[in-house]
Amino acid sequence: MTTDKIALVTGANRGLGRAAAIALATRGLRVVVTHRGDPAGAEKTVKQVQAAGGTATALRLDIRDVDSFPSFTSELSEQLERWGASRLDVLVNNAGVGVFGPLEAVTAEDFDAVMGTNVRGTFFLTQAVAPLLAQGGSVINVSTSLTRHTSPATSVYSASKAAVEALSRTLAGELGARGIRVNSIAPGPTATDFNGGAMRDNAEMRQVLAGQTAFGRVGEPEEIGDAIATLATDGLRWVTAQRIEVSGGAFL
């Protein structure tokens, strides 16, 4: 199946971003993948999209650098033109950082890095890209199941994602007049390289987290990617301002 639709996935050089890019491509969307400074990883994603029969290209983007957004949107517009398009249909705000530690260990620099990336970067990138979004488009912000339950040493990360969820609901109201849906996807424990690949590589951690889910295991990146791609489709065109948790029933 092919469509004329185009998606932008931030932080798609690895992990959930790569899985989302591939899942969108298998549903016929052309994909712009971004990376902060990992061209090799981004190119790997592009090749995997192409191997799945899709079309993709990579652009560099550091969502911490708000001042770079005007030049990035110009590059994005040029890429859309190369594809014979003028509009973007789907924006997946996936790129983010996690700094974890107990109250006494978190520094002001840690706090600013997490909030500056996950909240400030997400907000201002959406602001920058919004004029390019097509009527009836979709914005999907990646959150976390940690906004519903608690886990040690995650306070700042969880707070940043709770802010992303609040932004999603408010922006759904602001952009709704253009038919643009804004939702958040909240993954549970997933085997990616996030946080040093702990949930992927640490067998003891995986076993503990698996025991706290209804399905008895941690998630796989492809399962989150499929959820993102499904939310982007017209089949869920009446869904906006929602938080959709994809966690296998974690911490019920």
Question: What is the domain range of residue 221?
Answer: 6-246
Burial environment of residue 68 by CB neighbours within 10 A (0 to 12, 13 to 18, 19 or more)? middle
- Would residue 252 count as lying in a domain? no
- Would residue 1 count as lying in a domain? no
- Would residue 125 count as lying in a domain? yes
Residue 135 main-chain phi, psi, to 5 deg: -55, 130
pLDDT in tens, 14-62: 999 999 999 999 999 999 999 999 999 999 999 999 999 999 999 999 9
Please identify which of the residues 144, 157, 158, 213 carries the catalytic annotation. Answer: 157
Q: Is the dihedral of CA 191, 150, 97, 164 positive or negative?
A: positive
- Would residue 47 count as lying in a domain? yes
Determine whether 226 is an active site residue. no
pLDDT band with cut points at 50, 70 and 90 for residue 202? low
- Would residue 146 count as lying in a domain? yes
Distance CA 165, CA 184 (A): 6
- Look up the pTM and report it: 0.95
User: What would the mean pLDDT of 91-105 be, rounded to a whole number?
Assistant: 96
The full length of the chain comes to 252
Residue 213: which CATH number? 3.40.50.720
Q: Of 49, 174, 150, 36, nearest to 102 (Cα)?
A: 150
Distance CA 14, CA 89 (A): 22
| pLDDT at residue 49, as a whole number | 98
pLDDT in tens, 59-80: 999 999 999 999 999 999 999 9
- Would residue 251 count as lying in a domain? no
Q: Largest Cα–Cα distance in the chain?
A: 53
Contact by Cβ (8 Å): 92, 228: yes
pLDDT in tens, 100-137: 999 999 999 999 999 999 999 999 999 999 999 999 99
Number of domains composing the chain:
1
> Could you tell me where the DSSP H helices lie in 54-150?
69-82, 108-115, 122-129
